[in-house]
Amino acid sequence: MVRLQDRETMGADTVSVEIVSRMIFGCGHHAEVYSDVAELGRHIPQDGVVLVLEDGGCSAVAVTEMLGRRGVWLPVLAYAENINADRIVRSVKAGVMDYMVGPVAPAALITKVHKCYNEGATMLGARTRHASARALVGALSQREREVLELLVEGLSNKEIARHLEISPRTVEIHRMKMMAKLGAKSSAHAIRLRLDANSIN
């Protein structure tokens, strides 16, 4: 599924939206055209790629920022006939997944959309794991987090006890509670959750 954004701000380039949507339909995919960023905000899709045609003044960054404010992540693919490298760099840093520049053939467009969709699914999975792990780690007590941090560093229970100046038995109790709260079946699982919690800035 491909979401095309946006018709109204394209001005004289509106025909480009129609041409691109025909290309997408012609390749057997679905496309929806939104009149502006506000309309997209009112009808945010659950899935797909948001394709932003920038030549008429629409900003892929504005679309990405709006989605972020709504707590939604969808891959954003931008297209422009002409654009400078600095703008592309700024946009990618802001979260735009990819750019197409210059004339594009239907096959190339669909290939790029598929690439963004697949990469987007991978990134969404990573973001979901990050959010889940962060919530689990955030529910730990301060001492449980300290035990987890030292476990990540590879310390044994005895070494953790010396570092925290508590008994090995107390470390075992904190560790058991920490593992239960994380739902971790092994130390390796707990370490993976800790790494996932810090995997996205």
**What 3-state DSSP class applies to 102?**
coil
Domains and CATH numbers, the chain: 2-125 (3.40.50.2300), 139-197 (1.10.10.10)
The model's pLDDT over 97-109, given as tens digits with 9 standing for 90+, comes to 888 887 777 778 8
Query: What is the pLDDT of the chain when averaged over all its residues?
Result: 82
Around Cβ 113, how many Cβ atoms within 10 Å? 23
Percent of the chain residues topping a pLDDT of 70: 89
Say what the pTM is: 0.58
Which one, of 190, 185, 175, 186, lies nearest residue 137 by Cα? 190
Residue 15's pLDDT is what? 42
Nearest-5° Cα angle at 93, 38 to 36: 15
C-alpha 152/C-alpha 172 separation (Å) is 15
R_g of the chain computed on alpha carbons? 23
The model's pLDDT over 34-74, given as tens digits with 9 standing for 90+, comes to 877 888 888 888 888 888 888 656 788 888 888 888 878 88
Q: What are phi and psi of 33, to 5 degrees?
A: -105, 130
C-alpha 98/C-alpha 118 separation (Å) is 12
Report the 3 state secondary structure along 3-44.
EEECCHHHHHHHHHHHHHHHHHHHCCCCEEEECCHHHHHHCC
The model's pLDDT over 134-184, given as tens digits with 9 standing for 90+, comes to 899 999 999 999 999 999 999 999 999 999 999 999 999 999 999 999 999
Residue 164's pLDDT is what? 95
The model's pLDDT over 1-31, given as tens digits with 9 standing for 90+, comes to 344 443 433 333 444 667 777 777 777 777 7
